[in-house]
Structure 1
Amino acid sequence: MINTRCLSRATLRAPHAPRLSRDVASKSRPQVRTATHPYAHRRQQHFVRSVATVTTLFATATAWQWYNGEKIFRDVHAEEPPQEQEVEFEKPRRQAQSTEDNRNIISSQHLQVLKSWENPGVYAWGSNSGRVVAPDSQESFIKSPRRIPFFDGVLLRDIKLDRNFAAAIDEKGDLLQWGTAFSKETTSPTRTLTGKNLKSLAISRDRVIALSSSGDVYTIPVSQEEQRTGDKPASTSWIPFWGSSNNISYRTRTPPNLAWGEKVTQISSGLEHALMLTSTGRVFSFASGTQDFPAKGQLGIPGLTWETRPEGGFDIPHEITTLKGFPIQHVATGDNHSLVSDAAGRAFAFGDNSFGQLGFEFNPEAKYVDAPSLLATQKLYAGTSQQASVTNVFAGGNTSFLTIEATKPVASARDSTRVQADTWGFGFGLTGQLGNGRWIHNQSSPIKIPTFSGLYEYDEHNNSVIPIKLHNMSIGQSHAAAIMDNVASVAVSGKSKRLTENDTNWGRDILFWGNNEYYQIGTGKRSNVPMPTYIQPLDQRAEEERTASVFGWGKQLREKDMHRFQITPKSKVRVNGRMVDMEQKVECGRGCTAVYSAV
């Protein structure tokens, strides 16, 4: 047979050489016998020398390894076997010492409820540039919820927060103020307006608006210096010819000429304007700040400007007459816009619409609407045969929200009507404050918030499925919080014989979202949160101590076992030796947040 490799080389060397046939090639191959080959002796000598050389090298390497203690051989081939780790079994749960102790072991939420009853007060976090959330600290940010020592054991009626000032109403109805904008020397909340039996608050850019239980509305300067030097109205007395002067400057802005028995029931304020709602459903507006007069239609009075305002004070109230005939039930204000809703489930908006916060298509030639305009909420449910009814309105910064209950018409008396509770948001959402998981600069048409829409739960008490509605929302300038109206239980006192040792308290779910520049969300991180999220319990030390005492595990397992924060709903409990109706409330301010014990 022809050697193909040799033939290829031959062909390459002589490409024009003629090919030989198989027979000719076989005959021309030389016939050589191995025994008489002339080079056989030389090949044998070369083989002997190669074997000797390899033997010598091997002996030398062996001696070198033996001399060095066979270190190389051990490193390459003698790997130590891995040590067996001792298996650590999960430790058993601590045995309860009492019925109440067993409830604490079972549920973190039960412990949270008890702590809120036993230790009422205020937790605050976020920006501390104005020494608001931590008056006794020089820290710029408070990253996680921290108690304000001044309010330990104190119940409040309301609280409002700004980065540079804050105001609160204590249980007696007196106004408390603090922060650097109030006073740079005072580091503790100070009583200012007293004896008015205040019940709720609102804040503008530089003033505090307070509503009394009798329906009177007061505006107070934020600055303590202005309170001391400003005009002080004369107080009236039941004693004839007897009058006295208040010790601080304030103005009364209760709407004049109210009907018999009519009084202001709600107040809300933006940066420069405020709304007042009366018990008969009428709405009044006025300028609530002193830096700029409202000029973006947020007062709801067409044509009202600084130049066209009537005689008298610049902040006198004006009734929004275009809302007559619509019994308004709720009012809300953002920085420069307003929202209202009536008893028939309709919503109206007016003011600035630069980011679509009114729910209308943005028009660059008309950036604001100066008269209340109806929102087409029924279009949101087009093609579903559902009837939409607005139940509440919320606003803050440049963002707005609606809560809507959608129902289908009942065909017969046997059919059961299922209510679908939804939440819709619109406006500015570039830092996540819309809560829909997206970063949107301008959302002019309402968009459904999935976290708070179409939710249901089973009510064991009534043996039926019910919708999970929103109990309340607090909208700050760029972040927000929502309290769910889920089924809660705060009936366990630990003394009832009808309850078992496994019955526990639990509160309502509360979620936060939006801008987190100042750690105002409460996650301990600074990244913005576009989707509503839970945070850890306010008293994390108590939660960690509970988990450690119950399970005795390490830090990693304690964090895994830690529950989320649940807010305590209203219940009658004993505080400081007396029975009171108390609940926890949340307040999202401008760059900061607070959760407080409210009455």
Structure 2
Amino acid sequence: MLSTRCASRAALRVPHPPRLCRNISSKQRPQIRAATHPYAQRRQQHFVRSIATVTALWATATAWQWFNGDKFFREVHAEEPPQEQELSFEKPRRQAVSEEDNRNILSSQHLQVQKSWENPGVYAWGSNTGKVVAPDSQESFIKTPRRIPFFDGVLLRDIKLDRNFAAAIDEKGDLLQWGTAFSKDTTQPTPTLKGRNLTSLAISRDRIIALSASGTVYSIPVSQEEQKNGPKPASTSWIPFWGSSNNISYRIRTPENLGWNERVTSISSGLEHALMLTSSGRLFSFASGTENFPSKGQLGIPRLTWKTRPSGTFDIPHEVTTLKGFPIQHIATGDYHSLVNDVNGRAFGFGDNSAGQLGFDFNPEAMFIDAPSLLPTQKLYSGTAQQACVTKVFAGGNTSFLTIEATKPVASTRDSTRVQADTWAFGFGLTGQLGNGRWIHNQSTPIKVPAFSGLYEYDENTNSVIPIRLAHVSVGASHAAGIMDNVASVAVSGKSKKLTENDTNWGRDILFWGNNEFYQLGTGKRKNEPTPTYIQPLDQAAEEERAASVLSWGRQKGEKGMHRFQISPRAKVKVNGRTVDLEQRVECGRGVTAVYSAV
């Protein structure tokens, strides 16, 4: 066994000739033996064969490329090498044919203001299931602003919209109504209450509250059938023994115990209740719907229920005596809650607080507050040395807004105080209607809206920096629109002198936010917006015509301009050959929105 193993070792060893080993040291001999080992020889042969194979494949590929050109390699590569783009130079702007044409080319905002003066009317969008935003259309949604042809060239005093009915007051003070809840057979706005010189409107679930120039408050049913068949009050006349019956049913709800020369100046309504503000700062409330009596404290009368109401009609007005001594300046109503502020900058709330819409902490054992309660607005500025003054209140659905001016003494030779204008929101915000960029179910503590807070601009007229206030907020059931009181220009109105061709008009910024389930934000997309956002100009045809006539610097081919809608401020302009005091207003309803020309 041992001899066999030794024989095998001997067979593996290759003998060297004596002359090769004569001059080699003992350290180099093992390396030589390893190099001449049969395994090493096989590895060397394998390496040579690999090199030969690769060389053959390369030669074959080269020949194939030579024979078929670059087709093979073009198919193998995923992308072609980038080609140099041809430089495109800006084309010269179209030459203006007049000064006004030059202003339209220079500014999209100027064009919007001019079009609102030249073509007054109503733009509406959102849900159309009730034939409100497009009475002559079968579409369920109107995704972007669209004109209602009936109101082309018509000026309005006010307009209010719900999903199934709408009401407006024309320039003469007559009431117009439309929508399926008014009449399923009528496809155009129809005059109803006429000859009352109405000035403003409010709507509940099934009734319209209208205010006349004399301070008379009317409560009119929405349904045309009820208007025809309901009781009609007898009208009076200055001619003895001359009287006639009105052609529609309505009730007068003006408070009876008004003082000398005191009249109702403002109205607001929720789904079941309404508020009335008088010229003396007194506040009255009454039931504005017929389906349910207010039961969540929104009337502001403690312990007032259906069972405890006084004798007489169920919708008799009640004075909110708790607020005596606090002259009220502004009023606002949501679906089931109320907000007011007085002349001294204090805010009060009463009614439903289930979503924190009164600004008080949520209490599951007390879901509503039936007496006006003071909001602790000064706490919002604790530690800042600023004094808070509530200037306006707004409400709708289950959401509320406050505008506050916070003043702080500063060491300045020009101004003794600095004013900061802020907007605060509270209540239900699960669909973004709080406007603070968040989705919140219950926001009982007022939270600041960044888009409308702490803003300043330079006023060239006074050569000073001024705060940008919030002029108005229209709050619908779940969305809202805010108009900023930024410096506007209506210098080019036909009477101006010493103007150049480069002087232009511009309006006020308007932003929309909240629920967009029915495309009521006007963005053209069905996406909720928790942050106030701009929309495109209302008159898209005029905007596209302008864009086609001018090429902006740096704009690529096919790129659209980012022009935003600006609402026109009040100005004296010529309409149909007569001078009128005209402005654009916005109105948010229940899933619908409208912008109209108002006098």
Q: TM-score, normalised by structure 2?
A: 0.89
In structure 2, what is the Cα distance between the partners aligned to 1:390 and 1:357? 16
Q: Deviations over 1:423-476 (max 9, x none)?
A: 111100010000000101000011111111111111001111111111111111
Q: 1:6 is matched with which residue?
A: none
1:115-194 superposed matches below 5 A = 115-194=115-194
Kept in 2, the 8 Å contact 1:476–1:591? The answer is yes
1:161 is matched by which residue type in structure 2?
A: L
Q: 1:75 aligns with which of 69, 72, 75?
A: 72
Provide closer, same or farther for how the CA distance between residues 388 and 71 of structure 1 changes in structure 2, counting only shifts above 3 A: same
In structure 2, what is the Cα distance between the partners aligned to 1:112 and 1:381? 39
In structure 2, what is the Cα distance between the partners aligned to 1:59 and 1:491? 79
Q: Does 1:214 align with 2:217?
A: no
In structure 1, what is the Cα distance between the partners aligned to 2:574 and 2:323? 44
Q: 1:7 is matched with which residue?
A: none
Provide closer, same or farther for how the CA distance between residues 523 and 555 of structure 1 changes in structure 2, counting only shifts above 3 A: farther
Kept in 2, the 8 Å contact 1:155–1:597? The answer is yes
Shift of 1:551: 2.5
In structure 1, what is the Cα distance between the partners aligned to 2:138 and 2:450? 40
Q: Deviations over 1:237-273 (max 9, x none)?
A: 1111221111111111011121111100000000000
1:172 is matched by which residue type in structure 2?
A: K
Provide closer, same or farther for how the CA distance between residues 500 and 305 of structure 1 changes in structure 2, counting only shifts above 3 A: same
Q: 2:252 is matched with which residue?
A: 252
Q: 2:223 is matched with which residue?
A: 223
Q: 1:430 is matched with which residue?
A: 430
Q: 1:377 is matched with which residue?
A: 377
What SS does the corresponding residue of 2:379 show, helix, strand or coil? helix
1:75 is matched by which residue type in structure 2?
A: F
Provide closer, same or farther for how the CA distance between residues 349 and 71 of structure 1 changes in structure 2, counting only shifts above 3 A: same
In structure 2, what is the Cα distance between the partners aligned to 1:391 and 1:81? 64
Shift of 1:71: 2.9
Provide closer, same or farther for how the CA distance between residues 553 and 298 of structure 1 changes in structure 2, counting only shifts above 3 A: same
Shift of 1:528: 0.5
Structure 1: any 5+ residue segments left out of the alignment? Answer: 1-9, 11-22
In structure 1, what is the Cα distance between the partners aligned to 2:219 and 2:37? 124
What SS does the corresponding residue of 2:517 show, helix, strand or coil? coil
What SS does the corresponding residue of 2:418 show, helix, strand or coil? coil
Kept in 1, the 8 Å contact 2:409–2:418? The answer is no
Q: 2:16 is matched with which residue?
A: none
Q: 2:451 is matched with which residue?
A: 451
Q: 1:324 is matched with which residue?
A: 324
Q: 2:568 is matched with which residue?
A: 568
Kept in 2, the 8 Å contact 1:543–1:562? The answer is no
Kept in 2, the 8 Å contact 1:294–1:305? The answer is yes
What SS does the corresponding residue of 2:579 show, helix, strand or coil? strand
Shift of 1:76: 2.6
2:72 is matched by which residue type in structure 1?
A: D
Size of the aligned set, in residue pairs, is 567
Q: Deviations over 1:78-100 (max 9, x none)?
A: 99876544322121211222111
In structure 2, what is the Cα distance between the partners aligned to 1:291 and 1:342? 32
Provide closer, same or farther for how the CA distance between residues 547 and 567 of structure 1 changes in structure 2, counting only shifts above 3 A: same
In structure 2, what is the Cα distance between the partners aligned to 1:411 and 1:564? 39
Q: 1:405 is matched with which residue?
A: 405
1:233-382 superposed matches below 5 A = 233-382=233-382
In structure 1, what is the Cα distance between the partners aligned to 2:234 and 2:427? 44
1:550-589 superposed matches below 5 A = 550-551=550-551, 560-589=560-589
What SS does the corresponding residue of 1:280 show, helix, strand or coil? coil
What SS does the corresponding residue of 2:549 show, helix, strand or coil? helix
Shift of 1:500: 1.1
In structure 2, what is the Cα distance between the partners aligned to 1:275 and 1:415? 39
Shift of 1:113: 0.4
Q: 1:479 is matched with which residue?
A: 479
In structure 2, what is the Cα distance between the partners aligned to 1:379 and 1:50? 89
1:449-598 superposed matches below 5 A = 449-493=449-493, 496-551=496-551, 560-598=560-598
Shift of 1:597: 0.1
In structure 2, what is the Cα distance between the partners aligned to 1:541 and 1:319? 51
What SS does the corresponding residue of 1:322 show, helix, strand or coil? helix
Provide closer, same or farther for how the CA distance between residues 274 and 63 of structure 1 changes in structure 2, counting only shifts above 3 A: closer
Q: Deviations over 1:195-232 (max 9, x none)?
A: 10000000000000000000000011111111111111
Shift of 1:24: 11
1:419 is matched by which residue type in structure 2?
A: V
Kept in 2, the 8 Å contact 1:283–1:328? The answer is yes
CA RMSD of aligned residues (A): 3.1
Kept in 2, the 8 Å contact 1:387–1:409? The answer is no
Kept in 2, the 8 Å contact 1:99–1:494? The answer is no
Q: 1:13 is matched with which residue?
A: none
Provide closer, same or farther for how the CA distance between residues 384 and 228 of structure 1 changes in structure 2, counting only shifts above 3 A: same
Provide closer, same or farther for how the CA distance between residues 567 and 126 of structure 1 changes in structure 2, counting only shifts above 3 A: same
In structure 2, what is the Cα distance between the partners aligned to 1:29 and 1:93? 90
In structure 1, what is the Cα distance between the partners aligned to 2:73 and 2:356? 71
Provide closer, same or farther for how the CA distance between residues 30 and 359 of structure 1 changes in structure 2, counting only shifts above 3 A: closer
Q: TM-score, normalised by structure 1?
A: 0.89
In structure 2, what is the Cα distance between the partners aligned to 1:229 and 1:77? 83
* Structure 1, 227-236 or 548-557: larger mean CA deviation: 548-557
In structure 2, what is the Cα distance between the partners aligned to 1:77 and 1:263? 86
Q: Does 1:114 align with 2:111?
A: no
Q: Deviations over 1:484-527 (max 9, x none)?
A: 11000001136744011111000011111101111111111111
What SS does the corresponding residue of 1:215 show, helix, strand or coil? coil
Provide closer, same or farther for how the CA distance between residues 71 and 447 of structure 1 changes in structure 2, counting only shifts above 3 A: same
Q: 1:105 is matched with which residue?
A: 105
